Structures are given as C-alpha cells and as structure tokens.
Amino acid sequence: MTSTVDPDREAVPKVSFDAEPGSYRHWHLDLDGAADTGVAHLRLDVAEDGGLVPGYELKMNSYDLGVDIELYDATQRLRFSHPEVRAVVLTSARERNFCAGANIRMLAGSPHPWKVNFCRFTNETRNGIEDATENSGQTWIAAVNGTAAGGGYEMALACDHIMLIDDNSSTVALPEVPLLGVLPGTGGLTRVTDKRRVRKDRADVFATRSEGVRGKQAVEWRLVDEVVPKRQWDEKVAGRAAEAAARSSRPTGATGIDLPPLQRTETPDGISYQHVRAAFDRDRGLVEITVLGPEGDVPDTVERVHELGAAFWPLAMTRELDDLVLRLRANELELGTWVIRTRGDVEDALAFERVIAEHSRDDWLVNEIRHYFKRVLKRLDVTSRSLVALIEPGSCFAGALLELALACDRQYMLDGFLEEDSQEGEPAQIVLTGSNFGAFPMGNGLSRLASRFYGDDDHVAKLQQETGRRIDAVEAMELGLVTEALDDIDWDDEIRIMLEERASLSPDALTGMEANHRFVGPETMETRIFARLTAWQNWIFIRPNASGPDGALRRYGTGRRAEFDRRRV
C-alpha cells in the first residue's frame, strides 16, 4: 500500500482489496471436516501490529478496513469455492474476547472520507453475510465466546443465530453513543430493532448502556438467541451448526471453483482488466468506465460453466467491476463523476444472460453468480458518485447489462451515428429482458425499473410487454428509459456541458441528492442502514462533539471526559 500527499489535504492511503486465505493476518478459515459435516469455522484473531495504516494497534480483537477486506474475501470464497459448506460458525480465537469492534484510534485519527468508506464497505460485507444465509443456503452462526462490543456485536448481528457464552463476564454492547459520541457504524441500531425485533424502549436503554447486557437478560431482550454455560459451549455450538447444515439447500457432493487473483494494469491514468476498463480524466474530475461484453462461444451446458469457473464471462466481469468500484471509492475521491459505457454485441450479451436465467434456480454456481452481480449493482447504488450512462452505437446495454445504465442517475442515448464514426452496423439500441423486472433488486426491494417509475405500476407492466426486442433512442426516450435521446449534431456539446455542470456543483449536496433519489419507495432494513443511518453517521463524524479536539473520539481512553456543545441541531 502506498499513499499520496497533497500539501493542502490529509494523506490519502491507497488501498488494495486483494486477499486470499494464505495471506490472512487476522482470520483463520478452518475447513477441516467440512466435507463431512458441512460446517466451516471462521475465527477472528486480529494481529495487533497488522493495521492497514500506521498510527494505531489493533488491540482487543478490534478491527480496521484491512480486517474487513479479509472477511469479505472469506465470504466470497465460502460461497464460490466451498459449496460443501452449509453452515459457518463465526467466532473468536481468543477466550473472553469476541471482538471490541472498530479500532477507536483508527477512527479518531482517520480523515473523514476514510471513516465513511470504512463504514460503507463494512456494512456491505455484513449485508453479504445475510445474503449468503438467505440466498446460498450457508447459515451463519455467531458463537460469541467473549465480550462483543460495538462493531463486534454488529458482526454477530449479521448472523442468523447468536449464541453467547454464559461465563459471568461476557456481554453484548453497542457503546458508541455513551463512550464515543457517534453511532454504531455498521447497522447495529437498525438490526437490533428491525431484525432482532428488540422493543424500541429497550433498544434505547441498550444503546446508551456502555457496559452492555449479558446472560438471561440478553435473551429476554432478544439481543441474542441463547446463552450457553461454558462447560457445554463446544457441544452446543457444534449442535447448532449441525442443525443448520442439515436444513441447508446447499448441494452435497458439489465441487467449488477457484477464484484466482485478478489481473489488472494500473497507471496514473487508469485501471484496466480483461473485461473492464477505467480511464481517469483528473482535469474534469471524472472516470470513464467501459464494460466489455462477452466474446467467444456461449457455454451450451451447465457443466461447461463449471469447467470455465472464474473465466466464465459473467463471473469474470463481475469480479473485475467489483474490484474497480471498491478501488475508485477508496482511492480516487476527486473523480466525482463516473461515465459508464458498454462495448460488445447485444446478442452475445443476451446469450450469456440466458444461461444465467435458465440455470440460476437449479445450479448452485449459476445462482451465486447472479447474486454476486446483484451485490455489485448494489455497491453502485450506494456509491457517492454521480453516475452517468452513455448509450452509443456498439453498446450492449441489454438485459443484465442494462441494469448498469438503470443504476445511473442519468442515461443519454445517441440517436444515429456520429459523423466521425463508421456508419456500418446498427445505431444504439437497448433490450429489456426478464432480468430487468426483479432478478437484481435494489436495497429497497424493488427492481430498478420499479424504482424509476415508482407509483406507476401500469407503465412497468407495459414495459414488460416490450421485452426481447431492440429499442432505439427515440422509442427509449418515449418509454422513459433514458434521460435524453440526442442526435449527432448535439451529442458532443450536450454531453460536455452536462458533465461540466455536474463538476461545478457541491459534491456534498450531490451526494445527498443522489442518495435520496436512488432510494425511492419502501424503506427496508438495508435502506435504513445506508440512506438514513449512514447519512447521520456521516454528519456526526465531522461534528466537534465526536471528532473535535475535545470530542469523544479524541478523548476516549485519556481519562478526560469529552466536552460537548449542548445545543441540539
């Protein structure tokens, strides 16, 4: 990892999201016996000197972004490489200390964007754990064998079942409000009420009680599912894991696929992969992202999909896009506008999509690929960047790839050809398929089309009648599928002016506006975490009560009480 320093700004660390089990410093992934029992164990054992950046020690099994990068990698490998795993026991390698949560020194000393990106990525990883239980048949069980505080308890909350050891000292706690002057940063408040169904008055008491809750009261308040005496701990945990594995729909006897390291080329001007490219325009504050459609033969059997493994285009492209989004969010803060294009043959893209649609219900790997693409689209939804899709001749915005355009804040489509381009081939076209009507839901539970036309179910139903055919620019405009359909005379100037105008606006105001517009309609646990709770945390992080020289984050552990500005805002 390197860092760059602007004399007028704080150092911005460059983050890599590459990881693999052999390089883990903070987690032990134990698969011994998993082929027979269906159970894997993931044990947290944080290396104190293993912080992602200098300046703090990861004491008491506390974590930073580096710890969560490894956790995310483990969740991915459990889903793709280990179909034999039907239950995952998340626990600590240390007695009496499950996890102390996010490292306070890290939070206190980090620039504001770092804190926000850390919380967002951690939230997405927790959501991925829940997605594995819901959609992959991999039930996660939190075996809390010591005190779980703050983010440590939030990690447990992401699991389907929480077991707490009864040793007269271990507690669960969300101490952020009383001790740090901030909020639980990875959905704790929301999961306690919405997922655990804790009564709101008890949730209020719990979130302001720094010492936490233990034993029978934790069960009574629904903060955990059961407390287990220490002498019965190993037996009970094994029993719960065996029960979960027995209930799983995960296939038996299946063989996983390898997830090899991604191959990328990085320069100061961009990042390139095999199927995804990003070119930076630092003067204009934007990045041009191009997703390349598939080439070559379409697998004619699901067995061939398994043979291709990570080289199967939908999975290979999704892995690259995932990595790019994470790197841009963490490392390129001033590239505030992302211009998204596709390049390829529409029919080839649709052919690969049909493989996914045909087999996602009956094949575990194809199912995993579909849900992975869904999660990467959700990353775009919660990314604080302006997203603009440009649909031009040679694009392949069709079906699943059309979701990339629908995830954008605006879509511009060229009507005809530009004068300098070849007039051969077909003009820009898009294609709706069944994938656009619920296969890749947003965090609000709606498809992107249902969100786009929220409250107009008749129009969405009309669009379903348009699936499978080519839609040109003029008709796409009439159907409301694009923001503007521009001819070759206006295209260059209109796009340039639009991008210049976007770059002239306040990034903070844009972030708030975009998040509000993207999450229309019903509020879910996921939208509450990202669109409401995270927004408040973002604001609280920069308030002097939390991050000022006399704020709670700065004063924590010094023996001096924070000095609060008592005015409510």
Per-domain residue ranges for the chain?
Answer: 25-247, 266-507
Q: 510: phi > 0 → left, psi -120 to 50 → alpha, else beta; which? A: alpha
Report the amino acid identity of residue 560: R
Is pLDDT above 70 for 2?
no
Burial degree of 345 (CB within 10 A; 0-12, 13-18, 19+): middle
Least confident residue range of 18-22, 274-278, 422-426, 528-532: 422-426
Residue 420: per-residue pLDDT: 73
Query: Concatenated DSSP letters for 153-197?
Result: HHHHHTSSEEEEEESSS--EE--IIIIISS--TTSHHHIIIIIS-
Is pLDDT above 70 for 304?
yes
Of all residues in the chain, the percent with pLDDT exceeding 70 is: 97
The two tokens of residue 109 are: 């000393």
The confidence band for 423, taking pLDDT boundaries of 50, 70 and 90, is low
Q: pLDDT: is 257 or 4 the higher one?
A: 257
pLDDT digits (tens, 9 = 90+) for 405-416: 999 999 999 999
Is pLDDT above 50 for 230?
yes
pLDDT digits (tens, 9 = 90+) for 268-278: 999 999 999 99
Domain 25-247, CATH among 3.90.1150.10, 3.90.226.10, 3.40.50.970, 3.30.10.20: 3.90.226.10
Rounded to an integer, the average pLDDT of 325-334 is: 97
The confidence band for 7, taking pLDDT boundaries of 50, 70 and 90, is very low
pLDDT digits (tens, 9 = 90+) for 69-117: 999 999 999 999 999 999 999 999 998 999 999 999 999 889 999 999 9
CB 199 within 8 Å of CB 224: no
Question: How far is CA 82 from its chain centroid?
Answer: 21
CA distance 434 to 195: 30
Rounded to an integer, the average pLDDT of 169-176 is: 96
Residue 532: per-residue pLDDT: 80
Same fold, 25-247 and 266-507: yes
Residue 11: per-residue pLDDT: 57
Residue 300: per-residue pLDDT: 87
CA distance 513 to 507: 10
Distances (CA, A) of 266 to 121, 281, 327, 328, 531: 22, 15, 11, 12, 32
pLDDT digits (tens, 9 = 90+) for 13-50: 699 999 999 999 999 999 999 999 999 999 999 999 99
Mean model confidence pLDDT for the chain? 94
Question: What is the SS3 string spanning 328-380?
Answer: HHHHCCCCCEEEEEEECCHHHHHHHHHHHHHHCCCCHHHHHHHHHHHHHHHHH
Is pLDDT above 60 for 160?
yes
Residue 422: per-residue pLDDT: 66
Is pLDDT above 80 for 1?
no
The two tokens of residue 305 are: 């999909």
Which CATH number is 266-507 given? 3.90.226.10
CA distance 296 to 221: 57
Is pLDDT above 70 for 417?
yes
The two tokens of residue 544 are: 């002097």
Is pLDDT above 50 for 4?
no
pLDDT digits (tens, 9 = 90+) for 439-485: 999 999 999 999 999 999 999 999 999 999 999 999 999 999 999 99
Predicted TM-score of the model (pTM): 0.95
Rounded to an integer, the average pLDDT of 235-241 is: 98
| Beta pairing, strands 410-415 & 430-431 | unpaired
Of all residues in the chain, the percent with pLDDT exceeding 90 is: 86
Least confident residue range of 352-361, 391-400, 468-477, 493-502: 352-361
pLDDT digits (tens, 9 = 90+) for 115-158: 999 999 999 999 999 999 999 999 999 999 999 999 999 999 99
